[in-house]
Structure formats: C-alpha cells, structure tokens
A and B are shown apart, each in its own frame.
Chain A
Amino acid sequence: MADGKRRKVERSEGGSTKPGGPSNRPTVQPSHDFRVVGKALRKVDATAKVLGVTKFADDLSLPRMLYCKLLRSPHPHARIVRIDAARALALPGVKAVLTGKDLPIPFGILPVSQDEHALALDKARFVGDPVAGVAAVSEEVATAALDLIAVEYEPLRPIRDHLDAVEHPEPRIHDYGDHGNLHKLINLEFGDVEAGFAEAELVREDLLFFEGNTHLPMEQHAAVAEWSPDGKLTLWSSTQTPHYVHRALAKVLELPPARVRVIATTNGGAFGGKSDPFSHEIVVAKLAMLTGRPVKITLTREEVFYCHRGRHPTLMWVKTGVKKDGAITAMHFKSLLDGGGYGSYGVASTYYTGALQTVTHHVPRYKFQGARAFTNKPPCGPKRGHGTPQPRFALEVHFDKIAEQLGIDPADFRLKHLVPPHSLTANWLRIGSMGLAECIRKVVAGSGWKEQYRKLPYGQGVGLACSSYITGAGLPIYWNAMPHSGVQLKCDRGGGVTVFCGSTEIGQGSDSVLAIIVAEVLGLDPFDIAVVAADTDLTPVDLGSYSSRVTLMTGNAAIQAAERARDLIARHAALKLEAPVERITFAGGRVFDAASPERGISFSEAVQLAEAAAGTVGTVGSYTPAAGAGKYRGAGVGPSPAYSYCACVALVDVDPATGIVRVPKIWIAHDVGRSINAAAVIGQIEGSIYMGLGEALMEEMAYRGNRNVVHKIPSLLEYKSPTTLEMCDVITYVVEDPDPNGPFGAKECGQGPLLPVPPAVANAVYDAVGVRIDEVPITPEKVFKALRRKEKGEEPRFGPLGFPDLPWPEPTRVAPPWEGGDGRAVEGGRGREKAVEVTAGRRR
C-alpha cells in the first residue's frame, strides 16, 4: 500500500529567525527546564480588563472630535446614477460629506482583489454597502444628515447565492474574475485519483453544506482618526491587522506611509472579523484630513453584520476510495463558496477549503476543485478556522459514514493510517510534530466511547471527529521577502525590559506570550516586562493576529531578541563574576554562575554593567517561516511552520418529537505542541468549543433571497448564539507534542479546536436517532424533517442534493512526493492565473 511509499522528511525545516541566514531557532527543551513557560499565568493585561480601564477604540475621545456616520445602500445590486449631498452639507453642524468620487482608489486585503472602494464609486454590491460618509458635531446631527443625501440608484438583478451566481453569469457583480460571477476557479490534482478509486474496495460520495455565519465580536468596530497640519495621520482602530490597514490608508489616501500611524486598540473580540482594512477606517481618516479635526466612528451592531467577512457558505462534494481496513486510496473534493459582494480574503479562503484534507489521514492521491462566487451580500472572509471548518465538517461526517459501511468503529478508523510526523502530504505540506493519535486515545478513554457508541438509548448519541489547523500561514498576504514578525527589546537600568512588537491583542493573550517568553529567556517575572504592541510608529511589523500565527512567529522573534540581550549581558556579567560566559545563568531576577549560584548579581546590575561597557542595551529579533515544499501555482495556501491536531467527542440529546438537539458535554484533546501559558491554552480551547457549538447548532447568516437579499436578522437577539444555557460542559485534555518550529515547541490552539465540533455533533445526532444531517447549523427543523423522511421510509437525511457543473479550468497536475514529484506542476500551471501569485508568490 501507499504506506511504504510515504516519504519521510528527515527533519522538518525550521523557519529562520535570521532572514537569509541559517536558522537559529531554539532547541526544544523538556518542560521541567522552564521557569515561566507552561505555567498557568495571569495575563499581563488581566488586571486592566477586570478593572474596566482597558481602552477600546470607542472609549477614545479627543478634543474637538467630530462624529461620522455612513449612508449605506438599500439595494443589493444597483448602479449609482447620482448623489446630491447639498442639503446634508447645509445642515448646521455638518462639517463634511464624502462620496465615492472623493476616494476613488480601490483597495482590498489581497493584492489580487483590490475590488473595494471606501464608498461605492459606481455600484453598490450589497444591502449595507457604504455610499456616503458624513462628519458632524454629534452622532445625532450626522445621522440626520444621512437622510438629506439624495442617491439615485438604478437597480440591477441581484445575485442571491452561489447557485444563483452559477446560473446567472450576468449581470456581473465585478468586471473581473475567472468566469461570469465566479470570482475564482481552482483545479489541482495530486496523482491519478481515478486509478486510486479503481484500487479501492469501497468508494463513497457525499454532499454537504455549511451555512455561513459571522464572528459576532461583542465590541462593534470603531475608529478614531486625527490629522495634523504637518501632514501626519493617526488612526486608532479595533483592527487585528494594523500593518495592512497602514498600507491601505497610505494607498487610498495617497499619503507617504511614513506619515501614517496606525494604532490597533485592544480588540473587544475579533475572530477574523477585524482583519480586513475597512471603509469606515478610510472614511474617518479622509474626513479628519478635510476638516482638520479628529473624527470618530463606531458602527452599530446592524452595521457590524454588513461588514461581516465571516464564514463562507460552502457547498461540498467529496468522494473517497478506501480499502477494507480504512486505508484511503484516493480523494476528490469539490467546494463552491458563496463569497458575497467583494473579494476580501476569498481567494485564500477558497484554497483553504481544499488544503488541509491531507494532513490528518494519509491520502495518497488527491484532487481538489474549488470555486468562489460573487453574490450581492456582505462579503465573506476569514472566520476562526478560515476556510477549513467547512471541509473538515464534510470530511469527518464522510469518514463516519465510511467507517460505518466498513464496519469499523469510527475511533479505530481514525487511529489507522494517520499522517506520520515529519512527512510530506500529497499536496506537499510539510508536517512536523503530530499528536493526533494521542488526542484520539484521550477523548476515547475520557468519554467512555467504547461503552457509549451505538449503545446509548434512542435519542442519545455520541459522535467523534478530528481536525488539524495551521500555526500561521507560510506566506504573507502580499509578496515580500521580509520577516513576518519583528520584536525589539529595550533593557532598562532599573531591570525592566520593554518588548516592542506589532502583534495585536484581540483577547487571545498575545501580549502575555511576549512577556512570558522574554521573561523565560532573561530569568525575569513576566510582570517585569512592559509590552508595547500594535503601533506602526513604535513597533516593528508583525503581520497581524490571524491564521493562528502570533504565538509561533512573534514567539520565535521574541526568543531571538531576548537571547541576543541575554548573550550581551552575560558577556559583561561573566567578567564581573569571573566565570566563563557559558556558565552565566539568568533566573529569579538574578544573573549568576551556574557552578556556584550564590556568586551572582541582580539582573538590573548586570544590565548596568552591559550598558556601561557597550552602550544602550537594545536588541532585535525576527522570524520568517521556511519556504513551503510545494512549487506549483496554488501551493501558497496550506503550508505552515506547524500543524496543531485535535480530537473531539460530543454527547447529544435529541428530542425526536421536536428535533431539538442539546449538547450536554464535549470531550476535547488538543495537541498544542507546548503550552506557553497553560491557562490561556485552556481558555482558547474552551472558547473554540463554544464557537464550534454555535456553528453546529444555531449560528447562520440568513438572507431573504426573494426580498431584496436583505439580512434577516442583523441583531444580537435574532442571530442565535449560545448563551450560558446552551453552552456545554467541556473536558479538555492538553497534549504536548513539541514541534521543532514552535517557540519552545508551541503550536496553535485558538482556532483548531473549533473544527471538530460541528462534525462530532452531526455524527452524534446520527448515533442518537439514525438520521444524517449533512448541513450545519443542525437546527430542529432539519432534524425533524429528516426524522419524518425516515418514518416514511425515505432517505433518513437532510442535506444538499447536488453540486452544479462548473467551468473548471484544466487541472494543475502535481505528482505527490511518493510518485517522484519535486513539488512542481507536471504540465505547468495555468498561465492566466495571476491570482495565485499572492498566495504562492514566494516562487516568483
């Protein structure tokens, strides 16, 4: 079987902390060597947060500040014929009105989809698309002014969803894209899947649908802009990606980047929803430039639903061939994403729906076809798990069905044929540490799986699913050869250390990770470390808090900076202590000779010695991931320095009379590589389970397709999310399989644990009442319908019934590693496919 052909990679190539130079990342140490890392520590910002003194963007107020409101399109798809703002401008208290022609330069997060305008220029593409912006002395006046702006629209036929987009190439929502209203079409083939299906003893096909849902951070987006007559712009914003906002502002406002400062205020939750540059950020900046006064905007909750960028609704078809023992011979996966009105991260999202199918169980031959449609709805983008929860749902439900057909317990099925650690996958992803087997064993033992699966009374059931997620994307959003993360360190004579880093605190604990890692290396208490983060004037670039990249990338950069400071200080301490420098040890706020620990000085004294001898003690560190192994077009999405793994068992109660599903308990085991802050790891895992539960049972972005494609429920009450009364108990097992690329071995934990929840719940519903709900959210209506079908002797299932024919391009064929490939396309990629240069641009 293919097992024998699996190519073992001698050693996972580490990322470089010296761009262009050899890797000098730290070696993985056993946990007992750590003084701070791995402990359950209070976050460095916890006290401010419980006191309510943390300043979020809407808490900022500047003298003479004006307030901005945006006029939004009431039409899902319309040409803007003319806008007359004269009456609004005449309203007392109104200081400026902007329309599309004032900000004509397009922007967008990905270089290949610069398709947004701060205010719609010629066309509105969804209900809620911003059309005009007002600055006035109060929110009330600004709101009143919106009513006085006259906009003449010429409505166009709206494209309601992905299927409508396939059927209606016209009218085109954008004048670019691969085909009609299909923004992106991808066709990748790794080996001959048809030959693989021919070898199989069972071939199964399934169709599944994952409804779109949204981040719903408790904090509405807000931004404050200030313009100085010396030509400097400052923007405070609740953004996860100040660096990308910096670039977008400079581009659209035609300002030198050196005169633009972006400060990311602590985010009140984000989950991916604050990682695009947004209209409102650009509009308040422009209004501040025009009026010479600070301008603030805080979105209403309804407007947050229009910003969206959340989970793409995704229709999926999967076909897998297996041997009787469960070994996969080939897999073919198709996805069709409903992208909404703009590109956002969508090209990357589409690739992600096909990237990680290969990283849990060995897939010797793999084919992926992915498409993203433009539709007249708020744009979709990255939400926790970015493009991977949908295919993971499909895959894990599909595996559950295959295991049942083979007569294998689904837990045993998943324990077989795992991807080996330190290996390459069919699509050329380089796997490092891989603790999935241990995760499966933990949840199987902890949940009493063997005593419960297929043995519980009717109405109760258990389901199991696995998953994996990237620890940071291998490539930046825009092509460049610079580090993904930079850290500066300043050691003070008083013994305090300040860490400067562009990373953004969104509640995940990134500030604490920096403090803990620097404290670990320098033998200090994390509370002796001051963290200055997310300010483009003060901090070196970190690309942002997305793709679960921060702990690994800023962590490695922080280790390098701290080790350089340690080495510098140690040289001078060694002279003073008359000990060889190799024996100089940093611990407990002291610097001492390891051979006689009583011979030592305080850390501050050591800093003073170094400063006296060598000048100001400051160092830098940076991190760049290693190049991916794949060299084909499209290989840019999927590579990561490390992959987290997890396994999950869900227990459900299904009421057959109503279809109501309750989830009393979930067992989760997550391979985090190494915990940096143990308490924060548990918090991230529990939070992921919560969000996965919401997606499994209730969360959905629902639109009235036949009524102007308006959002049905743009409110926190009607968009159902789990309250304390729906949240399940969670038993968390932490598995630590250190990865050579992680700081002290750490991998991600903030996104991966969401992924297995929806399929585990779906599989448990089947165990409970014998119906397959091949669509999330698993609402009572769907369960009820499936139960009725079962009663009538029809297929006991609720889910999609077909996958449309799409104008796929010729496949890019890449031989898998075990077929002698070198990671390049066999027959060349598609020449016209400029899009991939963003994501795979590294090769250029």
Chain B
Amino acid sequence: MPDAKAKIGFELNGEPVEVAFAPHKTLLEVLREDLALTGTKHGCELGECGTCTVLLDGAPVLSCLVLGLACEGRRVKTVEGLAQGSRLHPLQEAFAALGAAQCGYCTPAFLLTADALLADNPRPNRDDIKQALSGNLCRCTGYIKIYEAVELAAARLRGEKAEPARESLYGRR
C-alpha cells in the first residue's frame, strides 16, 4: 500500500536539505513528519485558516496545499528559520513583548506572513497589515497586539528606536 518514497532537495531555512517521503505528502506533512520541524502548525489542512503558512521562495503559502514534491529546488522558510542565531528576529521579539502570541498556535504563521509583508513593504500602514494578515485566523488576540507587534518590528527593522506604546501594554486608565 505505501507508495515508493520520492527524494527531493531544496533549501530549508537557508541550508540545503534532502528528504525522502511518500509522494502524496504535502509540504506541511514533510516538514512536520519527515523533517521533524513541528513549528509549522495546522488548523484545518484544507487551506482555510492560514495556520500552516510558510514562505516558499519568499512568498507566503499554505503548506497544507503545497505538495512536497513541488518544492524541489526551491527556498522554504519556516518559523525555525526566523531567529538569527540565538537572537530573536525583531518580529519574534515584538510578538513576545506585546503578548501577540497568546496560545502561540497560530503565531508561526503570523510571523512568516508578516516577515513576507515587511520584506515587500518596510513601512506598512495598519490597513496594509490587516490586508496582508487577512488569511490568517487567530482566536486569542483579536489581532490587535499582532498589528502593534508588526508595526513595532517594522520600525525597528528600519533602524528606528521604537518601544511599545504604554497604552498597548496598560490600556487607558
């Protein structure tokens, strides 16, 4: 019953990787099951929630809808590839500081979608961020801390000295 395994090579988080897997497997399954990178999550496996988002050649894709075989020779970036050595990526830093990750399950997907946005548009306004993230569902945060974290990280990536607004952290009194 099991298909013969297919073997492909691609660039994963900046490093070359070779992996053999049953050819019907999605990129999501290859990452989680064959490469043990469980940072990429799933919420539906039907392409509806955005939770499995990774970057393929720099663009956000739903890894549950991409066949592993389709990644031959391409660049894949997952949440495991965001941190720079032992330092958090500015997006990770901002998400942690603002509480943009509550349960943390959708967080890897939001981080990668935001990473692609900022690569494309270093100075996004609130509407740009909403549009870019509109395919990712989060049930905990109400998205607001996520927007604020993306804005904070964008400012820092532009080299500005930015801190979270007091109101973001404490509300109004």
Instruction: Give A residues with C-beta under 8 Å from B.
Output: 40, 42-43, 45-56, 58-59, 61, 92-93, 138, 140-141, 144, 215-220, 266-271, 300-301, 442, 446, 506-509, 675, 678-683, 685-691, 715-717, 721, 723-725, 727, 729-734
In this assembly, does B88 line the interface, its C-beta being within 8 Å of a C-beta of chain A? yes
**A92's closest neighbor in chain B, by CB?**
B1
Contact with A along B70-103 (1 / 0, CB 8 A): 0000000011101100001001110111110111
Q: List 29 A-B contacts (CB under 8 A).
A: A42-B97, A49-B96, A50-B92, A50-B95, A50-B107, A51-B39, A52-B39, A93-B1, A219-B41, A219-B105, A268-B106, A270-B103, A442-B172, A506-B103, A508-B102, A679-B98, A679-B169, A679-B170, A680-B99, A682-B99, A685-B171, A686-B142, A687-B140, A687-B142, A715-B46, A716-B44, A730-B142, A733-B171, A734-B173
Report whether A732 and B171 are in contact in the complex, using a CB–CB cutoff of 8 Å.
yes
The CA of A104 and the CA of B141, in the complex, are separated in Å by 41
Contact with A along B102-132 (1 / 0, CB 8 A): 1111111001000000000000000001110
Report whether A217 and B171 are in contact in the complex, using a CB–CB cutoff of 8 Å.
no
In this assembly, does B138 line the interface, its C-beta being within 8 Å of a C-beta of chain A? yes
For the complex formed, measure the closest distance between the CB of B145 and the CB atoms of chain A, giving whole angstroms: 6
**B51's closest neighbor in chain A, by CB?**
A218
Report whether A42 and B130 are in contact in the complex, using a CB–CB cutoff of 8 Å.
no
By a CB distance below 8 angstroms, the chain A residues around B131 are 724-725
In this assembly, does B26 line the interface, its C-beta being within 8 Å of a C-beta of chain A? no
**A43's closest neighbor in chain B, by CB?**
B99
The CA of A266 and the CA of B169, in the complex, are separated in Å by 24
Report whether B141 and A687 are in contact in the complex, using a CB–CB cutoff of 8 Å.
yes
Extra inter-chain contacts (7) besides given A218-B103, A218-B138, A729-B144, CB under 8 Å: A46-B95, A51-B39, A52-B107, A266-B104, A507-B103, A716-B43, A724-B131
By a CB distance below 8 angstroms, the chain A residues around B142 are 686-691, 727, 730
In this assembly, does B61 line the interface, its C-beta being within 8 Å of a C-beta of chain A? no
Report whether B141 and A683 are in contact in the complex, using a CB–CB cutoff of 8 Å.
yes
By a CB distance below 8 angstroms, the chain B residues around A725 are 130-131, 134
Report whether B102 and A687 are in contact in the complex, using a CB–CB cutoff of 8 Å.
yes
In this assembly, does B48 line the interface, its C-beta being within 8 Å of a C-beta of chain A? yes
The CA of A759 and the CA of B169, in the complex, are separated in Å by 27
Report whether B105 and A682 are in contact in the complex, using a CB–CB cutoff of 8 Å.
no
For the complex formed, measure the closest distance between the CB of A373 and the CB atoms of chain B, giving whole angstroms: 28
The CA of A688 and the CA of B38, in the complex, are separated in Å by 29
**A685's closest neighbor in chain B, by CB?**
B171
A716-B46, A732-B171 given as contacts; is B134 within 8 A of A217 (CB)? no
**A666's closest neighbor in chain B, by CB?**
B142
User: Taking each of B82, B136, B170, which has the highest tally of chain A beta carbons within 10 Å of its own beta carbon?
Assistant: B170
A301-B45, A507-B140, A716-B48 given as contacts; is B169 within 8 A of A46 (CB)? no
In this assembly, does B10 line the interface, its C-beta being within 8 Å of a C-beta of chain A? no
Shortest Cβ-Cβ A-B pairs, 3 listed = A52-B39, A507-B103, A49-B104
A219-B103, A507-B103 given as contacts; is B96 within 8 A of A42 (CB)? yes
Report whether B103 and A267 are in contact in the complex, using a CB–CB cutoff of 8 Å.
yes
User: Taking each of B38, B79, B168, which has the highest tally of chain A beta carbons within 10 Å of its own beta carbon?
Assistant: B38
For the complex formed, measure the closest distance between the CB of B91 and the CB atoms of chain A, giving whole angstroms: 8
Report whether B88 and A269 are in contact in the complex, using a CB–CB cutoff of 8 Å.
no
By a CB distance below 8 angstroms, the chain A residues around B102 are 269, 507-509, 683, 687
**B141's closest neighbor in chain A, by CB?**
A687
The CA of A206 and the CA of B146, in the complex, are separated in Å by 40
Report whether B144 and A730 are in contact in the complex, using a CB–CB cutoff of 8 Å.
yes
The CA of A58 and the CA of B51, in the complex, are separated in Å by 14
Report whether A731 and B172 are in contact in the complex, using a CB–CB cutoff of 8 Å.
yes
For the complex formed, measure the closest distance between the CB of A30 and the CB atoms of chain B, giving whole angstroms: 15
**A690's closest neighbor in chain B, by CB?**
B142
A271-B139, A724-B143 given as contacts; is B79 within 8 A of A51 (CB)? yes
In this assembly, does B40 line the interface, its C-beta being within 8 Å of a C-beta of chain A? yes
A46-B99, A268-B103, A717-B46 given as contacts; is B1 within 8 A of A141 (CB)? yes
A52-B40, A218-B49, A717-B48 given as contacts; is B139 within 8 A of A269 (CB)? yes
In this assembly, does B20 line the interface, its C-beta being within 8 Å of a C-beta of chain A? no
By a CB distance below 8 angstroms, the chain B residues around A734 are 170-173
Report whether A690 and B105 are in contact in the complex, using a CB–CB cutoff of 8 Å.
no
By a CB distance below 8 angstroms, the chain A residues around B111 are 50
Report whether B139 and A50 are in contact in the complex, using a CB–CB cutoff of 8 Å.
no
Binding site secondary structure of chain B: loop
A45-B104, A682-B171 given as contacts; is B139 within 8 A of A715 (CB)? no
The CA of A267 and the CA of B104, in the complex, are separated in Å by 9
In this assembly, does B133 line the interface, its C-beta being within 8 Å of a C-beta of chain A? yes
The CA of A689 and the CA of B169, in the complex, are separated in Å by 16
In this assembly, does B137 line the interface, its C-beta being within 8 Å of a C-beta of chain A? yes
The CA of A48 and the CA of B95, in the complex, are separated in Å by 11
The CA of A730 and the CA of B168, in the complex, are separated in Å by 11
For the complex formed, measure the closest distance between the CB of B167 and the CB atoms of chain A, giving whole angstroms: 8
Report whether B170 and A40 are in contact in the complex, using a CB–CB cutoff of 8 Å.
yes
Among candidates B80, B95, B139, B173, residue contacting A218 with C-beta atoms closer than 8 Å: B139
The CA of A508 and the CA of B88, in the complex, are separated in Å by 22
Report whether B39 and A682 are in contact in the complex, using a CB–CB cutoff of 8 Å.
no
By a CB distance below 8 angstroms, the chain B residues around A267 are 103
Report whether B96 and A50 are in contact in the complex, using a CB–CB cutoff of 8 Å.
yes
User: Taking each of A675, A717, A729, which has the highest tally of chain B beta carbons within 10 Å of its own beta carbon?
Assistant: A717
By a CB distance below 8 angstroms, the chain B residues around A144 are 1
**B111's closest neighbor in chain A, by CB?**
A50
User: Taking each of A48, A49, A681, A729, which has the highest tally of chain B beta carbons within 10 Å of its own beta carbon?
Assistant: A49
User: Taking each of A93, A509, A683, A730, which has the highest tally of chain B beta carbons within 10 Å of its own beta carbon?
Assistant: A683
A687-B140, A689-B142 given as contacts; is B46 within 8 A of A218 (CB)? no
By a CB distance below 8 angstroms, the chain B residues around A724 are 129-131, 133-134, 136, 143, 147
By a CB distance below 8 angstroms, the chain B residues around A729 are 144
Report whether B105 and A716 are in contact in the complex, using a CB–CB cutoff of 8 Å.
no
For the complex formed, measure the closest distance between the CB of A15 and the CB atoms of chain B, giving whole angstroms: 27
The CA of A58 and the CA of B78, in the complex, are separated in Å by 18
User: Taking each of A52, A138, A689, A733, which has the highest tally of chain B beta carbons within 10 Å of its own beta carbon?
Assistant: A52
Report whether B140 and A301 are in contact in the complex, using a CB–CB cutoff of 8 Å.
no
The CA of A681 and the CA of B102, in the complex, are separated in Å by 11
By a CB distance below 8 angstroms, the chain B residues around A733 are 171-173
The CA of A442 and the CA of B172, in the complex, are separated in Å by 9
Report whether B41 and A723 are in contact in the complex, using a CB–CB cutoff of 8 Å.
no
Report whether A300 and B103 are in contact in the complex, using a CB–CB cutoff of 8 Å.
no
The CA of A55 and the CA of B101, in the complex, are separated in Å by 15
Among candidates B51, B101, B144, residue contacting A50 with C-beta atoms closer than 8 Å: B101
**A728's closest neighbor in chain B, by CB?**
B142
For the complex formed, measure the closest distance between the CB of A646 and the CB atoms of chain B, giving whole angstroms: 12
For the complex formed, measure the closest distance between the CB of A371 and the CB atoms of chain B, giving whole angstroms: 30
For the complex formed, measure the closest distance between the CB of A222 and the CB atoms of chain B, giving whole angstroms: 10
For the complex formed, measure the closest distance between the CB of A139 and the CB atoms of chain B, giving whole angstroms: 10
By a CB distance below 8 angstroms, the chain A residues around B106 are 218, 268
The CA of A245 and the CA of B145, in the complex, are separated in Å by 33
A268-B104, A507-B104 given as contacts; is B171 within 8 A of A715 (CB)? no
A50-B95, A52-B80, A725-B130 given as contacts; is B49 within 8 A of A716 (CB)? yes
By a CB distance below 8 angstroms, the chain A residues around B78 are 52
For the complex formed, measure the closest distance between the CB of B51 and the CB atoms of chain A, giving whole angstroms: 5
By a CB distance below 8 angstroms, the chain A residues around B136 are 724
Report whether B171 and A220 are in contact in the complex, using a CB–CB cutoff of 8 Å.
no
By a CB distance below 8 angstroms, the chain A residues around B145 are 682-683, 686
By a CB distance below 8 angstroms, the chain B residues around A47 are 88, 92, 96
**A51's closest neighbor in chain B, by CB?**
B83
By a CB distance below 8 angstroms, the chain A residues around B164 are 40
By a CB distance below 8 angstroms, the chain A residues around B43 are 218-220, 301, 716
For the complex formed, measure the closest distance between the CB of B171 and the CB atoms of chain A, giving whole angstroms: 4
Report whether A686 and B141 are in contact in the complex, using a CB–CB cutoff of 8 Å.
yes
The CA of A59 and the CA of B35, in the complex, are separated in Å by 12
Report whether A59 and B38 are in contact in the complex, using a CB–CB cutoff of 8 Å.
yes
**A53's closest neighbor in chain B, by CB?**
B39
**A692's closest neighbor in chain B, by CB?**
B142
The CA of A218 and the CA of B142, in the complex, are separated in Å by 13
By a CB distance below 8 angstroms, the chain A residues around B36 are 61
By a CB distance below 8 angstroms, the chain A residues around B82 are 51
Among candidates A53, A61, A442, A679, residue contacting B99 with C-beta atoms closer than 8 Å: A679
